Amino acid sequence: MEQYFLAVDIGASSGRHILGRLENGKVTLEEVYRFKNGFVEKNGHFCWTHDRLFEEIKNGLKKCKEIGKIPTTMGIDTWGVDFVLLDKEDNILGDTVAYRDSRTEGMIEKVEAVIPPEELYSITGIQKENYNTIYQLFAVKEENPEHMEKAETFLMTPEYFNFLLTGKKMNEYTIASTTGLLDAKTKKWSYDIIERLGYKKSLFGELYPPKTVVGGFTPEIQKEVGFDCTVVLPATHDTGSAVLSVPTKGMNNVYISSGTWSLMGVESETADCSEESRRLNFTNEGGVEYRYRYLKNIMGLWMLQSIKRELNDEYGFGEISDKSRECGNFKAIVDVNDNIFLAPKSMIEAVKTGCKKYNQAIPQNVFEVTQCVYLSLAKCYADTIKEIEKMLGRTFDSISIVGGGCQDGYLNELTAKATGKTVYAGPIEATALGNILAQMMSKGVIKTVDEARDIIRNSFEIKEVKAFLDGGK
């Protein structure tokens, strides 16, 4: 009897249910359901629609039943930093505010008045970004102190969906590491930080690593979807899952998990919480088997996704890529990590504003705007890999790009050219794959991370893009 493993992979713009199975040493994938995601404006804030998302999770499960492919296990992964607070009746307190919301403006300064940034980084190793959970919680404390008082449980987004499926509340290590509330060295909550900031220690439960079994569906969910299934914790932070599927064996390389965000870094056995690492704004996030993801968050394809939406999806990503390439003579570059690009009303206007800010040529049409984004991303990748090499005291010869963004041949070429490194592109469904691999490891179907990565290399085409195209000009 075939064993199926279901990844429910929910990103900022879409979610999908992907079934995986292992046959003759290769993983095969089948997408069975897809749905849209995005935040909405509610009560003056950008918010996620958790009720709708959970209905979509159940819809995908019903689709598995409909096609007669019942998963043995399933796992949910999502973006990081966002959370819910539950009261004693397990109701959500307040709105499910999204990380791109402006409620955290000024919160960094308020947190730093309690804990100096140097001390905070020396404990957590997490880069300073205003959307981090630590600052979101301070915003709740400032704006809605009654929610903090009534709160009984803190759950990150995928943990909340697990609770709705199983009735069990479990905090998972990799996504907890994005909060800015973990001690990077002990891999546990820093209750010192939590209590100094006035957050209730009792909110934060025991941390469980990827591959841990959560439990089966509640009777109500079983009745609704038509079957029972064991819910397993993958790396519930999507980047943690994506990194598990990076095919790195024998390659001296840096990875980029390329999607709405570009997460660029290396896998490490130890956290670097040094002052130099803080100054360069690197982060130490948790991975499968407690391997650290030493990386930098880069704005990523969010900018292109936003422009595509602004154009009412008139052009596909392939067309945008091709038309940007045709504007190759336009050379303006901006800092893609500037907060003006985090959630602008118009990304096109934000890029033009950025060009003015950085004394660059102003784009005259939308594809000069996207060309600017492409060049700026490649430049940021090049700068980041130099910083990684400086911090680690070693040189890397290649970059593995995984995730949906690895399909953009133009960006891959620009990255190879800007960095002088060989680029390896693939696999595409990196996050879902990592999610499925963790489930297989939980069941003992796969024994080790190295074995998992061997299977990835055997299962999928990895495209190679040589460095120094166009003669290295």
- State the pairing for strand pair 253-258/398-402: parallel
- Rounded to 5°, the CA angle 72-77-80 comes to 165
Q: Which residues contact 367 (CB under 8 A, 6 or more apart)?
A: 320, 323, 324, 326, 327
Which amino acid is present at 226? G
238 included as an active-site residue: yes
Separation between Cα atoms, residue 462 and residue 319, nearest integer Å: 23
Structure-token match 């429910």, residue found: 8
Separation between Cα atoms, residue 244 and residue 433, nearest integer Å: 8
Please choose, from the candidates 336, 349, 352, 348, the residue with its C-alpha nearest in 3D space to the C-alpha of residue 301. Answer: 336
Helices and strands counted in the chain (H then E): 18, 21
3-state secondary structure of 76: strand
Structure-token match 């995601």, residue found: 37
- 294, 268, 285, 109: CA torsion to nearest 10: -50
Phi, psi (degrees; rounded to nearest 5) at 414: -65, -35
Phi, psi (degrees; rounded to nearest 5) at 201: -60, -35
95, 238, 272, 408: the catalytic one is: 238
Separation between Cα atoms, residue 278 and residue 117, nearest integer Å: 9
The tokens describing 266, both together, are 């290396």
Q: 387: burial class by Cβ within 10 Å (0-12, 13-18, 19+)? A: middle
Which amino acid is present at 71? P
- Asked if residues 166 and 217 have their Cβ atoms less than 8 Å apart, the reply is yes
Separation between Cα atoms, residue 173 and residue 409, nearest integer Å: 34
**Rg (alpha carbons) of the chain, rounded to whole number:** 22
Please choose, from the candidates 185, 284, 310, 267, the residue with its C-alpha nearest in 3D space to the C-alpha of residue 452. Answer: 267
Please choose, from the candidates 17, 437, 58, the residue with its C-alpha nearest in 3D space to the C-alpha of residue 8. Answer: 17
State the catalytic residues: 238
